[in-house]
C-alpha cells in the first residue's frame, strides 16, 4: 500500500517538539506522507511560548484546498487553531471530506501557555461533531464539560490520563454504543513530555489513514508515544521534546 496522505492542520512550534513539527516527524516515522496547513505560528522553546501569531482563515483554507485538490488526503489531524474564525473555516472545509479526522482540542501548552481563547474553544463544537475521534487531556476534558457533556454530544473521544496524578497512566476510549476501552501503563518518569498530545493524535490519524480500526490505531499510537518518550534526547532546560527520530 502506498503511504497514507495525512494532513495536519495545526500550529507551528519553532522548537520542533510539538505542533506541526511533531506531526510531520510522527507521520513520517509511521510511514505516512505528511502535509500541513499551518493555522498559527508560535515562537517557543522548551521553557515557554514567547509569541503567537494567527494565520488568516483564508490562508488556512487555501492550504487545505491545495492539499486536498492535488495530492489528496487519507486522514486529517487537527491541532492548535489559534482563532474561532480559523476553527470555523476548518470545519467548513472538512465537512465535505470523507476521511478519518482526529481532533486534538489544544488549549494549553505543556509549558502552561494558553493556546486557545474562550471563543476558539466554543468553536470546537463543530469540529468535535465532525471528528472520528477527539483526544482531550484532563483539563481539556473538564473544559469541554466532562464525560457527561461528551456523552450528550454523542462523539467518540480518547480521555488521556498523562497529566492525572499517579504512577499509572490510563487512557480511556469512549465510543457511543460500544463498551469503554482502557489502556494502563506505568508512568515514564521524565520531564521531556513536550508534544506528547500532538504526537499521539497525528499517530492515530496516520494509522486510521492506513485503514486500521480505531482501537488498534489508538493502541499502536500509544506505543509510539511511549517509545518516543523513552527515546527523548534530553534537549532544552524545560519540557524537552520526544525522540521521534530514534523510535525503531
Ligand atoms: O501540545 C500542544 C501544542 C500544540 N500546538 C502547538 C504547540 C503546543 C504546545 O506547545 O506549541 C503549536
Tens of pLDDT, residue by residue over 71-80, are: 999 999 999 9
Distance 40 CA to ligand 1 centre (A): 10
Domain 5-151+190-246, CATH: 3.40.1190.20
Lowest mean pLDDT among 33-37, 111-115, 183-187, 192-196: 111-115
pLDDT in tens, 40-59: 999 999 999 999 999 999 99
Q: In the chain, pLDDT over 90 holds for what percent of residues? A: 96
Nine cell digits for residue 19 = 505542533
* Helix (H) / strand (E) containing 172: strand 168-174
Domain ranges of the chain: 5-151+190-246
Q: Give 11's strand partners.
A: 40
pTM, to two decimals: 0.97
Which ranges constitute the DSSP H helices of the chain? Answer: 19-29, 57-66, 84-94, 118-122, 124-130, 138-143, 146-153, 196-209, 214-230
Query: Any catalytic annotation for residue 160?
Result: yes
Distance 179 CA to ligand 1 centre (A): 31
Asked if residues 104 and 90 have their Cβ atoms less than 8 Å apart, the reply is no
Query: Any catalytic annotation for residue 19?
Result: no
Report which of 140, 215, 193, 208 is spatially closest to residue 22, judged by C-alpha positions: 193
Whether residue 105 has its Cβ less than 6 Å from ligand 1: no
Amino acid at each position: 500500500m502506498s503511504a497514507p496522505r495525512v494532513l495536519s492542520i495545526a500550529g507551528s512550534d519553532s522548537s520542533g517538539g510539538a505542533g506541526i513539527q511533531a506531526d510531520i516527524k510522527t507521520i513520517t516515522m509511521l510511514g505516512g506522507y505528511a502535509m500541513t496547513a499551518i493555522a498559527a505560528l508560535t515562537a517557543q522553546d522548551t521553557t515557554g511560548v514567547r509569541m503567537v501569531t494567527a494565520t488568516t482563515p483564508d490562508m488556512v483554507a487555501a492550504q487545505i484546498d491545495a492539499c486536498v485538490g492535488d495530492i489528496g488526503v487519507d486522514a486529517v489531524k487537527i491541532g492548535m487553531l489559534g482563532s474561532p474564525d480559523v476553527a470555523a473555516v476548518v470545519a467548513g472545509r472538512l465537512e465535505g471530506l470523507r476521511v478519518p479526522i482526529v481532533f486534538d482540542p489544544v488549549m494549553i501548552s505543556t509549558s502552561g501557555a494558553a493556546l486557545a481563547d474562550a471563543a476558539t474553544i466554543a468553536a470546537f463544537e463543530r469540529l468535535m461533531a465532525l471528528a472520528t475521534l477527539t483526544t482531550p487531556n484532563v483539563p481539556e476534558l473538564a473544559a469541554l464539560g466532562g464525560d457527561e457533556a461528551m456523552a450528550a454530544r454523542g462523539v467518540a473521544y480518547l480521555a488521556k490520563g498523562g497529566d492525572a496524578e499517579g504512577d499509572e497512566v490510563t487512557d480511556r476510549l469512549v465510543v457511543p454504543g460500544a463498551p469503554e476501552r482502557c489502556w494502563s501503563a506505568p508512568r515514564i518518569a521524565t520531564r521531556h513530555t513536550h508534544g506528547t498530545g500532538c504526537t499521539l493524535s497525528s499517530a492515530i490519524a496516520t494509522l486510521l489513514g492506513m485503514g486500521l480500526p480505531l482501537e488498534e490505531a489508538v493502541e499502536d499510537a500509544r506505543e509510539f508515544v511511549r517509545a518516543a518518550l523513552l527515546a527523548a534526547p534530553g534537549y532544552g532546560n524545560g519540557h524537552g521534546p520526544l525522540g521521534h527520530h530514534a523510535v525503531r
